Amino acid sequence: MLPRPQLLLLVCVFGQWPAAAVGREVFLNQDGDLVIGAFFPIHRKGPDGERCGALQIEDGLQPLEAMLYTVQQVNADQTLLPGVTLGVAAFDSCDNPAHAMEQALHFVKGFIAHNNAHHGGENEELEYVCEDGKPPKYYERNLERIVAVIGGQSSSVSIQVATLLKLFGIPQISYLSTSPALSNKEKFPYFFRTVPSDVNQAHAMLEILRHFKWQRAAVIYSNTEYGKHGFEMLKSLAANYSVCFSVERRIERDGSTHESDINEAMQDILKRKHLRVVVVFAEKASAHRLLRYAKANKQASELIWISSDSWRRLDDSGGNQLKNAVAVQPLARELRGFDEYMESLRPGNHSNVNPWFNATWEEMFKCNSSTCDPNPMNGITHLVNYRQQNYLHFIRDAVFAVAYALNSLHKELCLGQSGICDAMSHLNETDFLNALKNISFLDEGDQEFRFFDGRDGPPRYSILSYGYEGPTNHMWKVVGNFSLTARGEPLLSLDESSIPFLASGDSHVCSPKCGEQQILVRDADDVCCWKCSSCNPYQIQLGSSLCQDCSLGTKPDPSLSKCVPIPVSVLDPYSASSLAAMAIASFGLIMTAFVGCVFFRFGHTPVIKASGRELSWLLLAGIAASFLLTFLAAFAHPAPFPCGAFRFLLGFCHTLCYAAILAKTSRVARIFGQKANQKAKFTSPEAQLVLVAAMTSVEAVILFTWLLLAPPTAVHVYPSREARLLVCAGLDSGHAYLIALAYPLTLVAASTVYAIKTRKAPGGFNEARAVAFTNYTTALLWLAFVPLYVVSSSHALRALTLSISLSLSALVQLACLFAPKVYTVLWRPQKNTKEGVMTHHRSSSLAPTPSPAPMHAVSEGSVEMSTGLEKSRQKWRNSTKEMVLTPASLQVNNF
């Protein structure tokens, strides 16, 4: 709130001045027991930053006189306020928010002075006193009796004044401010108005467009509270009335940019050849400038104008430029008896009441107020320079609203006593506010008036058209009315014969008829026009103007009315890539079966015994499982069990193979790496099987843990908009492959180390080269296939990549570890002897050296060194090609 001590200081300074010293030309002061304050735009807003400009006769003098006329009626009716007279304190707002705020301070000072005087009762000390010890007074105490303020006229003035008056709880009633912003009860709790909000005016303007089938229009609005809120309502409601705004332009109300804004807006409208209707939500000043543009431009003069209530105050200067104009204003009605009242006024006697009357009189009749005789107001209805404004009845409603609120409080506080009682000498703001909200009386049309929603006037409007009355006289004529029912339904009544220019409707069709499977899309050049287009291949059509994307895994049906699922695809076992993978796996299985048959048939021969029959069978089982995994990937329908089996076997096959290889190489390394007279431990077949079981169990635990943490499931993937695949979850990225093969990689590394250690063992036991080549080749295969697997976007290719890599790895193991032995058994039987097995080949990459330790056991049986071991070693050293252990010096069990 404003600092009251400072304001009271001004009251003390200026309050001692007589009222005449203030200047009658800026203040109307009519005495009464209670006083109604008021703002009227007696002058226009000044040009180029000036506060006030020229006199306004219609919108300045007439509203002020309408208030004085109504106050006389209230004071004459002793049944309404018995013994109580109402006074008037009116200021000129100049239609300028800044100037109006300055004038409103007079009401604030009077209000504070009144509150201070009321606070200082007989037994109470005054809250504030002047230097002479007396309470501050303001203008002979007339402004201290203010109970409410009527005005302003424009919304911009009312918003500024209401912001100030609410701080002191002074009720304000506007007779013409229609901005929706003023309906905010929290921001403006003390504001009322006898006109409806522009929310309802927007309904009326749009209903006119819909009634005459105008689907396209342009809208121009001013950059003020009035214009912006009006445009927002038009924009938000347009779709409900099937109206579209092709052009939306805002113009500044004042300043150097105002003219350029109007020019740009009109040029934008005129370049659209088929756009004929312009909706205007702007103050009177902006409307004048728009009409000046239309007057200078023949094409613009043919436009149809639908305006808010500001246009109905335009004078006859519009001329032909308003011939196609319609304005919507709060209900137009004549104030009965006002013309006769105006006829009775004389400059000599009325100038003491209205300080602006003489100047207005001279402006109206172009004569000196002291010499105009006879009275030019005689025959008032026939004068061109005077016409009663059709909104004056709203001022009457505002005055009567205050009077009826006071009447309610007078009955309650004074209990039938005539005149002002002590209880009513200082009105409680809350009591008066509640009384004002609940008033009810008959308006000028004998209809009940009450505040709509506790603060706005009833939503009733008149539709006006600018026409001719006589050969030269132009005027606004009422051609219809509009109202909203209690349910918010619009009711429009029009005399269409008076507005034939609206009846043509929108003759230009800018939205063609489209085919059955086409939609309307907005034209880039005109947002209100449409053109035909088709939905995307993966969209369905919703209505005539909307497409909706189908979700992944679905596509539109032939009618484009709904999305249907794409058939589920799995890996095609009969595709070229699948057949190639299965051919490799089939060949591998045949070779594995062939090797198995050879090992079974010749399992008693030294070469096969030396290779370790039990471990060889386990290795063949792992190789066979690797080949079978291809068929599992190709034929098994993705489901939890097949997916889990594939994930488990993916790592288990490698582990089983390399666990067997590691057991073989480590066993030979321990046997031939022992010192003389030392026997290697845990070299029996049973021990080897336990070792392999222990190594594979580690991988089994890893794989089972993975399955528990990420249970195997089948999921749908969408490699393209046309495909929906069912695949096993968890195999769609490289981490699955790494989890499955991380442990087998350690076995590969370990077997490589042991293979190197066995490079000096006899030929039948020395598999260093085969194991090393197998490991290197497997590593190369993984390095080649894993990146291909990771980067591949095809799930089918990923599955085949895994299958082929396993098959090739298994083929390498068959070729390197089993092919030499099968070749020896079948085609070189002469080498399949004890001597051939124990032969040490010089072709080793390292020079042969005698074994540092005796061999105690080889293969399934034990090979014990005889007492002639040292002699045999000597023969090995002296041999040039190979050293042979004779049966007399070496006994090989189970050969």
pLDDT (tens digit, 9 = 90+) per residue, 827-855? 888 877 777 666 654 443 333 434 443 33
Burial 258-282 (b: 16+ CB within 10 A, else e): beebbeebbebbbebeebbbbbbbb
Burial 67-77 (b: 16+ CB within 10 A, else e): bbbbbeebbee
In this structure, are residues 778 and 748 in contact, taking their beta carbons and an 8 Å threshold?
yes
pLDDT at 741 over 50: yes
371 and 417 share one domain: no
426 and 469 share one domain: no
Residue 574 counted as domain residue? no
Which helix (DSSP H) or strand (DSSP E) does residue 89 occupy? strand 86-92
pLDDT (tens digit, 9 = 90+) per residue, 423-438? 888 888 889 999 999 9
Q: Which pair of structure tokens corresponds to residue 542?
A: 């919703």
The alpha carbons of the chain give a radius of gyration, in whole angstroms, of 53
pLDDT recorded at residue 872: 37
Q: How far apart are CA 269 and CA 277, in angstroms?
A: 9
Q: How far is CA 391 from CA 120, 309, 310, in A?
A: 43, 10, 12
590 and 638 share one domain: yes
155 and 18 share one domain: yes
Q: Which pair of structure tokens corresponds to residue 224?
A: 């003020």
pLDDT at 439 over 90: yes
pLDDT recorded at residue 404: 96
Q: How far apart are CA 406 and CA 506, in angstroms?
A: 53
Which helix (DSSP H) or strand (DSSP E) does residue 777 occupy? helix 768-791
The CA-based dihedral angle spanning residues 352, 355, 360, 362, taken in that order and rounded to the nearest 10 degrees: 60
pLDDT (tens digit, 9 = 90+) per residue, 344-357? 887 777 777 888 88
Which range among 368-372, 663-667, 805-809 shows the weakest confidence by mean pLDDT? 368-372
Q: How many angstroms from the chain centroid is the CA of residue 664?
A: 68
Query: Which is more confident, 877 or 51?
Result: 51
This prediction has a pTM of 0.55
| Phi (first) and psi of residue 845, to 5 degrees | -70, -15
> For the chain, how many residues are written?
895
Q: How far is CA 803 from CA 352, 580, 594, 649, in A?
A: 111, 11, 21, 11
Q: How far apart are CA 349 and CA 783, in angstroms?
A: 113
pLDDT recorded at residue 686: 81
Q: What is the 3-state secondary structure (H, E, C) of 703-771?
A: HHHHHHHCCCCEEEEEEECCEEEEEECCCCCHHHHHHHHHHHHHHHHHHHHHHHHHHHCCCCCCCHHHH
- Tell me which residue of 595, 531, 579 sits closest to 818, measured CA to CA: 595
- Please count the structural domains in the chain: 5
End-to-end CA distance of the chain: 116
pLDDT (tens digit, 9 = 90+) per residue, 288-332? 778 777 777 878 778 888 988 777 655 545 455 567 888 888 888
In this structure, are residues 609 and 859 in contact, taking their beta carbons and an 8 Å threshold?
yes
The CA-based dihedral angle spanning residues 772, 774, 775, 776, taken in that order and rounded to the nearest 10 degrees: 80
pLDDT at 893 over 60: no
Q: How many angstroms from the chain centroid is the CA of residue 756?
A: 68
Q: How far is CA 613 from CA 283, 394, 601, 684, in A?
A: 106, 115, 12, 12
Q: How many CB atoms lie within 10 A of CB 253?
A: 18
pLDDT recorded at residue 393: 94
Beta partners for residue 725, in sequence order? 569, 717
pLDDT recorded at residue 645: 84
546 and 492 share one domain: no
Residue 555 counted as domain residue? yes
pLDDT band at 871, cuts 50/70/90? very low
Q: How far apart are CA 461 and CA 405, in angstroms?
A: 26
Q: Which pair of structure tokens corresponds to residue 593?
A: 């079966």
The CA-based dihedral angle spanning residues 393, 395, 397, 400, taken in that order and rounded to the nearest 10 degrees: -130
pLDDT at 163 over 90: yes
Q: How far is CA 255 from CA 49, 51, 99, 223, 258, in A?
A: 9, 14, 18, 12, 6
**Residue 679 sits in a domain of what CATH number?**
1.20.1070.10
pLDDT recorded at residue 206: 93
Q: Which pair of structure tokens corresponds to residue 391?
A: 């909104």
pLDDT at 76 over 90: yes
Residue 716 counted as domain residue? no
Mean pLDDT, residues 765-769: 62
pLDDT recorded at residue 19: 38
Provide the pairing of β-strand 191-193 with 216-222.
Answer: unpaired
pLDDT (tens digit, 9 = 90+) per residue, 130-156? 777 777 777 656 788 899 999 889 888
pLDDT band at 14, cuts 50/70/90? very low
Beta partners for residue 533, in sequence order? 519
pLDDT (tens digit, 9 = 90+) per residue, 773-806? 777 787 787 777 767 766 666 666 676 777 788 8
Which helix (DSSP H) or strand (DSSP E) does residue 231 occupy? helix 225-237
Which helix (DSSP H) or strand (DSSP E) does residue 87 occupy? strand 86-92
pLDDT at 882 over 60: no
Give the percent of the chain with pLDDT over 90.
18
Query: Which is more confident, 271 or 506?
Result: 271
pLDDT recorded at residue 792: 66
- Tell me which residue of 1, 3, 5 sits closest to 127, measured CA to CA: 5
pLDDT recorded at residue 403: 96
Q: Is the peptide bond preceding residue 152 cis, with omega within 30 degrees of 0?
A: yes
Q: Which of 128-137, 467-476, 619-628, 736-745 has the highest mean pLDDT?
A: 619-628
Q: How far apart are CA 858 and CA 837, in angstroms?
A: 11
The CA-based dihedral angle spanning residues 535, 541, 546, 548, taken in that order and rounded to the nearest 10 degrees: -80
pLDDT (tens digit, 9 = 90+) per residue, 587-607? 999 999 998 898 888 888 888
Mean pLDDT, residues 485-511: 80
pLDDT recorded at residue 397: 95
Residue 513 counted as domain residue? no
Q: How does the average pLDDT of the chain come out, rounded?
A: 77
pLDDT at 165 over 60: yes
Contacts of 479 (CB under 8 A, 6+ apart): 326, 463, 464, 465, 494, 495, 498, 499
Query: Which is more confident, 790 or 61?
Result: 61
Q: How many CB atoms lie within 10 A of CB 576?
A: 8
Provide the pairing of β-strand 563-565 with 554-556.
Answer: antiparallel
| Phi (first) and psi of residue 492, to 5 degrees | -120, 130
230 and 126 share one domain: no
814 and 741 share one domain: yes
pLDDT (tens digit, 9 = 90+) per residue, 180-216? 888 888 999 999 999 998 888 899 999 999 999 888 8
Within 13 A of 204's CA, how many CA atoms are on the CB side? 32
355 and 226 share one domain: no
Q: How far apart are CA 580 and CA 872, in angstroms?
A: 53
Q: Is the peptide bond preceding residue 374 cis, with omega within 30 degrees of 0?
A: yes
Residue 876 counted as domain residue? no
Residue 849 counted as domain residue? no
Query: Which is more confident, 158 or 607?
Result: 158
Quote the strand ranges of 223-344, DSSP E.
244-251, 277-281, 304-307, 325-330
Mean pLDDT, residues 158-173: 92
Burial 746-782 (b: 16+ CB within 10 A, else e): ebbebbbebbebbbbbbbbbbbbebbbbbbebbeebb
- Tell me which residue of 171, 108, 188, 197 sits closest to 434, measured CA to CA: 171
Residue 853 counted as domain residue? no
pLDDT recorded at residue 322: 67
pLDDT recorded at residue 851: 41
**Residue 421 sits in a domain of what CATH number?**
3.40.50.2300
Angle, vertex CA 602, rays to CA 601 and CA 605, nearest 5: 160
pLDDT recorded at residue 793: 61
Q: How far apart are CA 684 and CA 106, in angstroms?
A: 118
Q: How far is CA 380 from CA 62, 158, 348, 377, in A?
A: 14, 32, 19, 5
Segments forming the whole domain that contains residue 350: 336-383
541 and 407 share one domain: no
pLDDT recorded at residue 472: 57
| Phi (first) and psi of residue 744, to 5 degrees | -55, -30
pLDDT at 86 over 90: yes
Residue 25 counted as domain residue? yes
34 and 157 share one domain: yes
In this structure, are residues 38 and 91 in contact, taking their beta carbons and an 8 Å threshold?
yes
133 and 148 share one domain: yes
pLDDT band at 650, cuts 50/70/90? confident
363 and 406 share one domain: no
